[in-house]
Chain A
Amino acid sequence: MARYGVSPSGAADWFSARAANLLVGNDACAPLVETTLTGIAFELTKPARVAVTGAVAPVEIDGLSVKLWQSHAAAAGARVKVGLPQRGIRSYIAVAGGIDMPLVLGGASTDIGSGFGGFEGRALRNGDELSLTTPVEASNAFDAYSLQATPSWKSPVVLRIVPGPHRRLLSESAWTQLLSSEWKVSSRSTRQGVALEGGPLRTGPTDIVSAGACAGCVQVTSAGLPVVLLAEHQTTAGYALVACVISADLPYAAQAPPGDVVRFEPVTSARAALLREHLERILASGASPTAPPLATGFFEGW
C-alpha cells in the first residue's frame, strides 16, 4: 500500500502486540487495541480470554489485579481495566478471536492521520462498542511469557542502529555526535515518529531526493534533530535517513516516554538479524512455568 502513499500503520510495538495476540490464541496480527499514554476500561459482553502486554501498567479484571504478559479467562460482563502506563507508554489489549474490524486497504489498523481504517478511522472514545470475532478453538501452547522473555522498559532507552541509506550525508564527526549524545524524547512524538531533542547535530543541509522510508529509520532534519520513524510514518522521506533502528529494538522506540533519554548504539547487520531471530523465537515459544529459562548470555539487552 505504500505505493499509494498509504503508511503500513499497525502496532507501534510489534513485539508486545503479537505477544498479546498469541497469548489468547489469536493469529499474531489479529486486530487488537493499542493505547498511548492512557488507560482503558471496558466491559466484555461475552466470556473471552484477555491478555495485556506492552507498558507496565496495573490491570484488573472485576477489581482483581492480574498479571501482564499472561492470558486470563474473563466472564461475560467482566469489567477489564488497564491503568495508566508506569514504564513504557503503550499498552496492548488482545481478546480471543480478535476485534472484528473490516479490512480497509488490506489492513484493520487505524491510520489516524488520514482518518480511515480501524474503528471509524479515529481513536476510540468512551461508549464505543467493539465486536469480537468468535474465536476458533484456542490452541495456544502457553498462557504466559516468562519474566526473561518480556521486555523491561529500561531507562535510558538504548536503540541499536545500523547505518542508513544516507549515512554519507553526515560527516564523521556528526555521526560520532549522534552516537555519543544523549537525546531526549520530545512530547511532540506521535505514532509517525519519535522526535528527539538535543544536539543539534552539526550537519549541513540534509535534504534528499525523496525516497522510500520504513519504521525504525532515523531521519535527520536540516535543524540537526533526529526523528525515529514509527508505524504510521510517511511512506517517502525528504530528509536524510542516516541510520536505522534494528527491528528488534523498534518496541523500545515505540515505548520511549516523553522526557526520557535515548542513546544510539551501532551494531552490525548480522547482529541485527540474530537479535530479530531471537525475539521471534521468544514470541513463538513463550514460556510456561515448567519451561526452562531462556539462555540470556549471548543476547544482552532484552
Chain B
Amino acid sequence: MPGIDVVPVGDAAAIAILGETIDEATVRATWQLADTVRRRMGESALDVVPAYASVLVRFDPTRVGLAQVMACLRGAATPTESIDGGRVRTLRVGVRFGVEFGADLDETANEVGLTVQRYVRTFCAAEYRVAFVGFLAGFPYLLGLPPELATPRRATPRDRVPAGSVAIAGAQCGIYPRVSPGGWRLLGTTRATVFDHTRTPPALFAPGDRVRFEVVARLDDAGAEVEA
C-alpha cells in the first residue's frame, strides 16, 4: 500500500495513516487493514479504531511492545490472507424531514439553491456507505452525500442536538444516536435505535453497511430495516 505511514500515539497506541482525504477507496483500505490487524493481534489489541483514512491500535505495553505493534500495522497494509467479502447489508432508515424535525433543513437547502423538496429527494436518492463508527457510541460516519448538497458545518455548534438527528457537515453525513452537543446541520429525525448497549452488537451500523434514507410521513414510522 503506497504512502502508508505508521507512527506512535503515545507509548500505548500506534496509528496507520493511509491518506488525508475522505474517499471510498481509502475507507475500504482501512476496513481491510483493521480486519487484518484484529486477526493477527487478537487480544493483544485492546482497541482497533478505523476512521476515514487511518487505523489506530491501542495496546497494553506490559504485554506487547510499541515496535511490534507498529511492525504489525505496516505488515497488515499488504494483507496476504484473502479478505472475506462478506455479506454487505443494506439498511433502510426512515426519516421524518421538516424544520420541526431538522432545524437546519430549510436554511441548508436555500444555501445550495434548492427547494426543500428537491434537497430531500436528492438526499434520499443517494446510496450511502458506513465508513466507520466513532465520536459517540454508535455514531455512523457515512460516505455518499451528493456533492451538490454538501454545506459546511454550522459556525456555532448547538449545545443540544436531539437524539436521532440525521445531519451533515461538509461532505460528511451522520446520525446522532443520542442528545449531544454538535455542530452538524440537522436535516431530519429518525427513531431507529442507533445504539443500544444491551444489544449485540450494540451499534446498529457497521463499516461497509449500505444505507438508504427514506421519507416517512410520521415520526413513529421512522425506524430502520435491515436487508441482509
| A residues at B contact (CB < 8 Å) | 1-8, 104-105, 111, 113-117, 162, 164-165, 209-214, 216-217, 234-236, 238, 241, 244-248, 269, 272-273, 276-277, 280
Answer yes or no: B223 CB below 8 A from chain A CBs: no
- With A5-B203, A269-B66: A214-B56 Cβ-Cβ less than 8 Å: yes
**Which residues on the A side are within 8 Å of B197 (C-beta)?**
6, 104-105, 114, 116-117
- Give the secondary structure class of B's interface: loop
Complex Cα–Cα for A214 and B203 (A):
20
- Beta-carbon contacts under 8 Å, B1-42 to A: 7-13, 15, 17, 20-22, 34
Interface of A is mostly: mixed
Q: A105-B202, A211-B51 are in contact. Are A235 and B135 (CB under 8 A)?
A: yes
Stretch among B76-84, B98-106, B137-145 lining the A interface: B137-145
**A165:B135 contact, CB within 8 angstroms:** no
CB<8 Å pairs between A and B, sample of 17: A2-B58, A3-B34, A5-B136, A8-B58, A111-B137, A164-B9, A211-B15, A211-B52, A212-B9, A212-B47, A214-B10, A214-B13, A214-B58, A244-B9, A244-B11, A247-B12, A272-B10
- A234 contact set on B, CB distance < 8 A: 134-136
Q: What distance in Å separates the Cβ of A218 from its nearest Cβ neighbour in chain B?
A: 10
Cα-based distance from A241 to B8 in the complex (angstroms): 12
Are A235 and B134 interface neighbours, CB within 8 A?
Answer: yes
Residue positions of B touching A, CB distance < 8 A: 7-13, 15, 17, 20-22, 34, 46-56, 58, 61-62, 65-66, 132-139, 141, 177-178, 195, 197-198, 201-203
CB pair B134 A209 closer than 8 Å: no
* 6 other A-B residue contacts (CB within 8 Å) besides A114-B197, A216-B12: A2-B49, A114-B137, A117-B197, A214-B13, A244-B8, A244-B9
Docked Cα-Cα span, A3 to B62, in Å, equals 23
Contact A1 B47 (CB under 8 A): yes
Partner of A212, one of B54, B61, B137, B177: B54
CA distance A2 to B136 in the complex (A): 10
Interface centre among B11, B55, B62, B141 (most CB of A within 10 A): B11
Tell whether, in the assembled complex, residue A246 and residue B47 are in contact, meaning their CB atoms are under 8 Å apart. no
Residues of A within 8 A of B34 (CB): 3
Which residue of B has the minimal Cβ distance to A272?
Answer: B11
Residue picked from A212, A244, A269, A277, most chain B C-beta under 10 Å: A212
Cβ of A246 and Cβ of B58 under 8 Å apart? no
Question: Is the beta-carbon distance between A162 and B10 smaller than 8 angstroms?
Answer: yes
The distance in angstroms between the C-alpha atoms of A273 and B22, with both chains bound, is 34
8 smallest beta-carbon distances between A and B, as pairs: A212-B56, A236-B134, A212-B49, A244-B10, A4-B203, A272-B11, A2-B47, A116-B197
Contact A3–B10 (Cβ < 8 Å):
no
Known contacts: A165-B9, A236-B132, A244-B9. The answer to whether A3 contacts B50 by CB under 8 A is: yes
Given contacts A117-B197, A217-B9, A269-B8, whether A3 and B22 have CB atoms under 8 Å apart is no
Report Cα–Cα, A217/B7, bound state, in Å: 13
State A1–B48 Cα separation when bound (angstroms).
8
CB pair A273 B10 closer than 8 Å = no
Quick check: A4 and B201 within 8 Å, CB to CB? yes
Chain A residue, CB-CB nearest to B52: A209
Q: Is the CB of B61 within 8 A of A213?
A: no
Residue contact A235 to B9, C-beta cutoff 8 Å: no
User: Are B10's CB and A212's CB within 8 A?
Assistant: no
Q: Indicate whether A5 sits within 8 Å of B61 (C-beta atoms), given known contacts A164-B9, A211-B53.
A: no
Is B11 a contact of A212 with CB atoms below 8 Å? no
| Contact in complex: A276, B61 (CB < 8 Å) | yes
Taking a contact as CB atoms under 8 Å apart, the answer to whether A5 and B137 are in contact is yes
Contact in complex: B22, A209 (CB < 8 Å): yes
Which listed residue, B8, B9, B20, touches A209 by the CB 8 Å rule?
B20
- Name the residue of chain A whose CB is nearest to the CB of B47: A2
A8 & B47 in contact (Cβ 8 Å cutoff): yes
- Give bound CA distance, A211 to B15, whole Å: 9
Q: Closest CB-CB distance, A196 to chain B, in whole Å?
A: 17
